[in-house]
């Protein structure tokens, strides 16, 4: 093995977004592009010689090729040990668990999460720090700064490493261990939830349908649901990870999981349905002909947390991203525990969990998790729901409606406008900002604008400040409209419109969310000039 230094030139577009650097595969395959970014990470994190690194991804196209490059670069940069998921596969929550369990210096997670895969699809890479959390902004900014000045990278000349057999091998002075992250993760889940009660539920005729979307959770789902909980083989669908996710879009929502939705809304519907995304950190929850919004899912799980063995002592606190509905805040208030509102991005929850301020966290973008790891965790959320169902012995819909009756219902929806021209999307946000003063106090039907702002967050633990995290129009009755440019896309711009209105009247809880929010939707379009500025009559996805 011969380490060598390769001269290179910076690429100007390597700024990490909400969850690392995401680009088209064709972009990552440009000469030196991947190597530049990886070297920028290694230069910025300053790992001591001999450090241990975790490595793996969601199995999408380019995953295995990138792993080989990273292993050779890690050896040349002085790492002493790398733990690699078997086959190069490692779900994002499992990666966080591996980092924490084996006390590695950190880890590289190769994924573009819920984005499409394949040769013409997306790829991504991010660094997670030693607590298992995505790198905070001070580190990602340092990586970006380094990427703009990089002139060389270090890599070893060596044969590729076998990734499909468990065990240890060497690359120069660096040891590589191919590990089984599925067993590690399944053991963790079994320590948190009442597997005996869930097993009895499934044995009693309760029918489960889980859609792995040909993504990373397939092997995890088979081990947990079929092998450990005794679910039937047909309970897990699309369970084989594929480089292109079977041609599908691995985003667990009502639009991109049509087969699962059809099954749960059909005449002979299973009792419970769920799906996870490309890298296993997101989830969608369905009952028979009933969709649970991610905001409601967080609130319901928090309200029922003590039913799961891992949470019998209760929650220290609850945190949610700003665009997520305030439903969880109402639960926190009833439980007498603190609630926190953070920017979008799981990295903002890490400090709160490390400080013991919160136990459970959630984002409206189908992410829910707790302090067992430092990432959102799709299968964790599914198992938590199964634990609640086993304990309460009620259907999903009944549990949610009883929750609304007790706490009130936060009608909530997100409208995504994907692949917009960047100038048009930025124009919408600029127009809103320019009209903040004019909107204050304005009357729109039954709604009066209390104020407008760009959400900023001061971390209560380390004092760091994050600005421009979403443009908000707040109304006097607590309703709100939020516009935000997504940081997870790779093509054009994705503009997200969030709408929320609280309803205490139980007689109105059965309304469809789009009907209940119709007036707010019309107001949002009127004040933003979204249709006129983007040319879009309808959103790409509604959740």
Catalytic residues: 113
DSSP 8-class letter at 47: P
Reduce the DSSP state of residue 12 to 3 states and report it.
coil
* H/E stretch holding 192: helix 181-192
Whole-number Å distance between alpha carbons of 6 and 73: 11
Contact (CB, 8 A) for 498 and 293 = no
Question: How many other CB atoms are there within 10 angstroms of residue 210's CB atom?
Answer: 29
**Geometric angle at alpha carbon 328, from 325 and 333, rounded to 5°:** 130
* Torsion angle of the four alpha carbons 82, 83, 85, 91, in this order, in degrees rounded to the nearest 10: -100
DSSP 8-class letter at 517: T
Surface-to-core class of residue 387, CB atoms within 10 Å of its CB (0-12 exposed, 13-18 middle, 19+ buried): buried
Please give the full DSSP string across 248-296, using - where no structure is assigned: S----STTT-HHHHHHHTSTT--SEEEEE-TTS--EEEEETTEEEPHHH
* E strand intervals along 172-271: 174-179, 208-211, 236-237
Query: Which residues have C-beta within 8 Å of that of residue 316, sequence separation ≥ 6?
Result: 337, 338, 356, 357, 358, 359
Whole-number Å distance between alpha carbons of 317 and 230: 34
Whole-number Å distance between alpha carbons of 76 and 399: 55
Q: Which two tokens stand for residue 409?
A: 């219902």
Which candidate, 95, 93, 104, places its Cα nearest to that of 192? 93
Phi-psi bin for 305: left (phi > 0), alpha (psi -120 to 50), beta?
alpha
């Amino acid at each position: 093995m011969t380490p060598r230094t390769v001269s290179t030139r910076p690429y100007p577009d390597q700024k990490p977004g909400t969850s690392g650097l995401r680009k088209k595969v064709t972009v990552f395959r440009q000469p030196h592009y991947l190597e530049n970014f990886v070297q920028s990470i290694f230069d910025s994190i300053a790992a001591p010689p001999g450090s241990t690194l975790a490595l793996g991804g969601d199995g999408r196209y380019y995953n295995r090729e990138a792993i080989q490059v990273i292993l050779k670069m890690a050896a040349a940069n002085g790492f002493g040990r790398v733990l690699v998921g078997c086959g190069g596969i490692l779900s994002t929550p499992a990666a966080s668990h591996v980092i924490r369990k084996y006390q590695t210096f950190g880890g590289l997670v190769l994924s573009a999460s819920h984005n499409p895969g394949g040769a013409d699809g997306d790829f991504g890479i991010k660094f997670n720090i030693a607590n298992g959390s995505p790198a905070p902004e001070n580190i990602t900014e340092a990586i970006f700064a380094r990427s703009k000045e990089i002139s060389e990278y270090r890599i070893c000349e060596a044969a590729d490493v076998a990734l499909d057999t468990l065990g240890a091998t060497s690359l120069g002075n660096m040891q590589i261990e191919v590990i089984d992250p599925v067993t590690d993760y399944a053991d963790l889940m079994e320590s948190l939830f009442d597997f005996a009660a869930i097993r009895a539920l499934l044995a009693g005729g309760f029918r489960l349908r889980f859609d792995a979307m040909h993504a990373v959770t397939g092997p995890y789902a088979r081990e947990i649901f079929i092998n450990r909980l005794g679910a039937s083989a047909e309970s897990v669908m699309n369970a084989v990870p594929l480089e292109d996710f079977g041609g599908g879009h691995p985003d667990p929502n009502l639009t991109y999981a049509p087969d699962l939705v059809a099954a749960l809304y059909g005449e002979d519907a299973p009792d419970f349905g769920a799906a996870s995304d490309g890298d296993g950190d997101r989830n969608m929850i369905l009952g028979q002909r009933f969709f649970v919004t991610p905001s409601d899912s967080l609130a319901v799980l928090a309200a029922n947390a003590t039913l799961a063995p891992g949470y019998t002592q209760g929650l220290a606190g609850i945190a949610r991203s700003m665009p997520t509905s305030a439903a969880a805040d109402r639960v926190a208030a009833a439980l007498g525990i603190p609630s926190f509102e953070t920017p979008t991005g799981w990295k903002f929850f890490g400090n709160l969990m490390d400080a013991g301020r919160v136990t459970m966290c959630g984002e409206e973008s189908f992410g829910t998790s707790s302090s067992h790891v430092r990432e959102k965790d799709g299968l964790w959320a599914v198992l938590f729901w199964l634990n609640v169902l086993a304990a309460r012995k009620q259907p999903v819909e009944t549990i949610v409606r009883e929750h609304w009756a007790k706490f009130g219902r936060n009608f909530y929806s997100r409208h995504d406008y994907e692949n917009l021209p960047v100038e048009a999307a930025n124009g919408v946000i600029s127009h809103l900002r320019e009209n903040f003063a004019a909107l204050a106090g304005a009357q729109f039907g039954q709604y009066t604008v209390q104020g407008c702002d760009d959400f900023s967050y001061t971390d209560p633990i380390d004092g760091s400040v994050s600005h421009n995290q979403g443009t908000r129009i707040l109304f006097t009755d607590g309703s709100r409209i939020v516009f935000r440019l997504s940081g997870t896309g790779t093509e054009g711009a994705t503009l997200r419109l969030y709408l929320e209105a609280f309803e205490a009247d139980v007689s109105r809880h059965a309304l469809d969310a789009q009907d209940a929010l119709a007036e707010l939707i019309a107001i949002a379009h009127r004040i933003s000039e979204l249709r006129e500025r983007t040319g879009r009559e309808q959103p790409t996805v509604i959740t």
